[in-house]
Structure 1
């Protein structure tokens, strides 16, 4: 435990050089196996995916019973299958995302308006904050047909604090996670704080659902909005599965916190890398100009015509995966992998951050080189195990189709319409280093860049 420290992804990557790509380690009384190669990740997530479909959960995420209702944390069973089916067919299918595309375009226009205002005033944009607000609104438009929050608003900052509180509390080193015998005592107060933050967010989400139910009841003949809130109300009224309002409250909490946290972090890293590599930025600009022309906002149907932008996103996900060690797995039974017995109950971590920087897997792994993905069929959808930022197998991230659209359209909108420069060009390199927070690795200091247009 003392060797792991506050940057576990880095410590595990170093230890794996000595102990190999399937390494066991005792974190207190929690027996853990760390996976550090595409071959071993494929064995665990695909070949033996059923055995390793369980989850270990930190105490913070057991607050408000979240681990019992969360699609990402609950055991694989009937409720999990019903929730996955709803996500796949009625939330993140191509048809559903096509229907809500216009709402997302409107939110990208709002982002552009904020950038224009900052450009006119000559002030820098906090990309972390702008990406958070935009991601939240893009998700809210997709799920609720509404805007969740505004730029330059105190209410937005309060909402961000709640969301970050939920995300960051999960990363607090909690003795109860390493020594389960201590769980009933909550010595560090981690679970109590999590109860407050998760409870506040669940209250907001429950309000959205109850409001839609009220509108439906008072106006039974009004046209439906055809969004996910309507799917929830339909499901609850039809009673064609065992899912309860609690399941949907926790599902939405998970999608909002997980989606906002991961997309915001990756967008910030994409912009960091492009601002730091003007030659790559110029290539993206030229490609966007050839495909978009005078359009201000990228149409999602044109993402496939932008191979260099896609390569930039892949390269950013390689260097800066949204979940450094994916979401922990748990062995549901004894299983032999590569000649080693992994006992039932073992926690399994896949060090995606470490694999992305491994010279045995990638040439010049620490260099930002999108060109490595040009004319390569490697993708991040879960089939190519050297790049699995959203996981793979039966527990792959259900929101990946929406994340794919957000991670391309937001940077494209920023890069196509403006040039960018650092607010503090001489800032120390330490500010751009990654710091482990929640499940992701964020910039140590938020990226602040100034938009401008060349004369």
Structure 2
């Protein structure tokens, strides 16, 4: 029997806003004149006549819970929305219709439904809904760079705020009140990010000015700044566009890879027999006299299986990035109206017993020789999405995860701290743009290779 769906405190925060409005001091207004009342009545009758004369399209929506006025089904969305969506799917089926405040949404939780939205009709779902987080980032500002600790906090804040459910995004008339305080935090972190990005661009421009005609582009930022200065470019790139590119690189190249590696290490420490197999393969293929190189990765099939199994159980974006329906579409006998927000619950697909044998077990062996990959062709495993709008950084992301994880396992012997049993290791999540561990992983690492291999230069 699926777990009960809990109603969350989000409802109460919304009603508090209403209560505050209802208990405010009434204004002293003069009584309306008969002329005003007659005009208002005539306008109301005219509006009713117009609306009744227009045939409204009646949609046959997918099954789903009955929405409340104003908030819709927001009371059913808990602190881990992918868990809530999985529970709703267990009751209503692989395609669930929801009302999120003022907007209609559907959640797909099966490979067949994912194939329809991401591959079969992906052109109808290539748009993204606008959110407060997307509007607030990249603003004007300048200043100094940050300490490593401040930058780490800024990255974490960025990923949290881009993934959080902001009430103003689903109930627009509440956006000016910012009842959760998220928009205020978005503005603050946006200004901080912009200070950092301005510093990066200023450094590159200073080198260009200093070297003059001898300047040679050394990295992508140099190339983008050169393109931004090209007046003949068919599609111009402005300074804010360059900052947007850098922000995407930072987001795609830091937190997503780090979260995946941390989940992989967590699962390996919980499953010592899998850890032993992975380290045995590394010792056999690489030896003890060098570190793992990029060209070694194809020769490490069990390590590749460990990465796939980690991405199955712990996708960093469990609902992918929301999509927006551009036109009325029919799927499985149901209607998906234009303007609907579409979520693909790849976390639920990765744990579906109808798709995977023993889905909750960490078994990399299921991928050894299976041919199932993570590149969007196999709809049961979609950590990077699929179709036209799948993650463009898949190549870099896979290489980073493989290289970091393989070298961590090869260079160190790992164990849990004294007094911590494998079965007691917490695997709780926290939700944002990515889904990291709720509590950072603590482990003991002991070097096992020659000392000179650990030198930084």
Q: TM-score, normalising length from structure 1?
A: 0.77
Corresponding residue for residue 442 of structure 1: 436
Instruction: Say which of 185, 190, 193 aligns to 1:201.
Output: 193
1:245 aligns with 2:239: yes
Corresponding residue for residue 124 of structure 2: 51
1:25 aligns with 2:19: no
Gaps of 5+ in 2: 1-73, 140-144, 450-457
Q: Deviations over 1:253-290 (max 9, x none)?
A: 12212432211111100111111111111111121122
Q: Deviations over 1:219-239 (max 9, x none)?
A: 134463542122212321334
Corresponding residue for residue 207 of structure 2: 215
1: distance between equivalents of 2:424 and 2:276? 26
How many angstroms does 1:414 deviate by?
Answer: 0.9
1: distance between equivalents of 2:419 and 2:263? 17
1:233 aligns with 2:225: yes
Q: Aligned to 2:415, what secondary structure does the other structure show?
A: strand
Corresponding residue for residue 88 of structure 2: 15
Query: How many pairs are equivalent?
Result: 369
1: distance between equivalents of 2:295 and 2:447? 27
User: Structure 2 matches for 1:143-182, cutoff 5 A?
Assistant: 155-182=147-174
User: Structure 2 matches for 1:293-308, cutoff 5 A?
Assistant: 293-308=287-302
Equivalent pair of 1:431/1:445 in contact (CA under 8 Å): no
Q: Aligned to 1:24, what secondary structure does the other structure show?
A: strand
- CA separation of 1:424/1:41 partners in 2, compared to 1, >3 Å: closer, same or farther? farther
1:5 aligns with 2:78: yes
More helix by share: 1
Q: Aligned to 1:188, what secondary structure does the other structure show?
A: coil
User: Structure 2 matches for 1:351-390, cutoff 5 A?
Assistant: 351-390=345-384
Q: CA RMSD in A?
A: 2.2
1: distance between equivalents of 2:112 and 2:391? 20
- CA separation of 1:448/1:248 partners in 2, compared to 1, >3 Å: closer, same or farther? same
Larger radius of gyration: 2
Equivalent pair of 1:53/1:329 in contact (CA under 8 Å): yes
Equivalent pair of 2:416/2:422 in contact (CA under 8 Å): no
Q: Aligned to 1:219, what secondary structure does the other structure show?
A: helix
2: distance between equivalents of 1:296 and 1:215? 37
Q: Aligned to 2:229, what secondary structure does the other structure show?
A: helix
Equivalent pair of 2:321/2:343 in contact (CA under 8 Å): yes
Equivalent pair of 1:202/1:253 in contact (CA under 8 Å): no
Equivalent pair of 2:217/2:223 in contact (CA under 8 Å): no
How many angstroms does 1:437 deviate by?
Answer: 2.0
Equivalent pair of 2:103/2:341 in contact (CA under 8 Å): yes
How many angstroms does 1:357 deviate by?
Answer: 0.4
Equivalent pair of 1:329/1:347 in contact (CA under 8 Å): yes
Higher RCO, Cα 8 Å, sep 6+: 1
Q: TM-score, normalising length from structure 2?
A: 0.76
Corresponding residue for residue 338 of structure 1: 332
2: distance between equivalents of 1:395 and 1:23? 22
2: distance between equivalents of 1:414 and 1:202? 33
